[in-house]
A = this chain, B = another copy of it.
Amino acid sequence: MTSTERETATEMRPTRQRTAVARALDSFTDFRSAQDIHALLGQRGEKVGLATVYRTLQRMAEAGDVDALRTEDGEALWRRCSATHHHHLVCRSCGAAVEVEGPAVERWTRAIAEEHGFADVSHTLEIFGSCRDCTSASAAGS
């Protein structure tokens, strides 16, 4: 912890574009790519540049208003999230996500890290699976 701890929090102006991205995020609960969100805005007639979507998502993530995760092939997916620390149970097929909490896991990761002399610990944990709807859909398909 240094003395320059507090970031000079750049003010965040409420522009039309940012409002549009924020509204888009409120309209779904699954994880979506920046490009998906950009397309969604396009469909709604809200013209926002792709670069702006990226920039806005990044700012919101820094502010803790959205969660980001990486797919297996490195693409970033975004979703509005609650303020408290949590993880996600994500459907591999449709992206549907459920926020989950696991106090025991939090404790375990901290303990393991300390045990090995690691400081300043954080962790990522995502659970993937096939949600009820997708499971029955694929069963019906074949």
Residues of A within 8 A of B (CB): 2, 70, 72, 74-76, 89, 91-92, 98, 100, 102, 104-105, 108-109, 112-113, 116-132, 135, 142
| Residues A130 and B119 in contact in the complex (CB < 8 Å), given A74-B76, A112-B100, A142-B2 | yes
Could you say which residues of chain B place their CB within 8 Å of the CB of A125?
123-125
Q: Do the beta carbons of A121 and B127 come within 8 Å of each other?
A: yes
Could you say which residues of chain B place their CB within 8 Å of the CB of A109?
127
How many copies, total? 2
Partner of A122, one of B112, B117, B128: B128
Could you say which residues of chain B place their CB within 8 Å of the CB of A142?
2
Q: Do the beta carbons of A126 and B127 come within 8 Å of each other?
A: no
Q: Do the beta carbons of B112 and A102 come within 8 Å of each other?
A: yes
How far, in Å, is A47 (CB) from chain B's closest CB? 27
